[in-house]
Amino acid sequence: MQDTAAANKPPIDAETLDFLHGVLDSVRRGDAERIADLLRRGLPPNLCDHKGDSLLMLAAYHGHHDTARALLAHRADPERANDRGQTPLAGAAFKGDLPMVELLLEHGARVDGCGPDGRTALFTAAMFNRLEIIERLLARGASPTARDAAGMTAREAAEKMGAADAARRLAQLEPAP
């Protein structure tokens, strides 16, 4: 069955499509000046690509702090998850970018925000053995006992991924038997 809303939308013309691709490329390259100018002229700060990655997600994932700041200054949503349920905070945790993690938290990203899979940025940091980010998230109130949709904790996810240092650190936070 075809989505009637999608069926009623006119196709995007080539010029608009080229413009949108250029915007996405500018974010991926970290062209903060161009993005800030476009935002001032009305570019929607929560624009997403075909995978649901917002401009902020792309800036966070690619480590472009100035671009992320420009987007956040124009009210980009730090909680907007992509089609896989990943938030910009989880993207920054995956990349091991502590300054980006801090920037997002300072601009309203919820430390325990997550998508439908229930995996928070702490899960992502734990799975990829990002100890410095784990410590920052814990200091900001991340729950080490939270469980994802499959019932796993961040420690268990770290163990499954072979992230021994992260698993050991998170095990220290568990209540004694």
Burial 139-157 (b: 16+ CB within 10 A, else e): ebebebebebeeebbbbbb
pLDDT digits (tens, 9 = 90+) for 84-101: 999 999 999 999 999 999
In sequence order, which residues have a C-beta less than 8 Å from that of residue 136 and are 6 or more positions away? 98, 101, 102
Q: Which pLDDT score is estimated for 16?
A: 84
Which residues make up the CATH 1.25.40.20 domain(s) of the chain? 12-86, 111-177
Closest CA to 143 of 98, 176, 113: 113
pTM: 0.89
- The rounded distance, in Å, linking the Cα atoms of 64 and 81 is 18
Q: What per-residue confidence (pLDDT) applies to 108?
A: 96
pLDDT of residue 7: 59
116-159 pLDDT, tens per residue? 899 999 999 999 999 999 999 999 999 999 999 999 999 999 99
pLDDT at 98: 98
Give the pair of three-digit tokens for residue 103.
């920037």
Instruction: Give 12-61 pLDDT, tens digit per residue.
Output: 788 888 899 999 999 999 999 999 999 999 999 999 999 999 999 999 99
Number of residues written out for the chain: 177
Q: Quote the pLDDT of residue 2.
A: 47
CATH fourth-level superfamily of 111-177: Ankyrin repeat-containing domain (1.25.40.20)
Q: Please say if the pLDDT value at position 115 is more than 90.
A: no
Torsion of the alpha carbons at 95, 100, 102 and 107, rounded to the nearest 10: -130
CATH of domain 12-86: 1.25.40.20
Q: Indicate if the pLDDT at residue 1 is higher than 70.
A: no
Looking at residue 138, its pLDDT comes to 98
| pLDDT at residue 174, as a whole number | 83
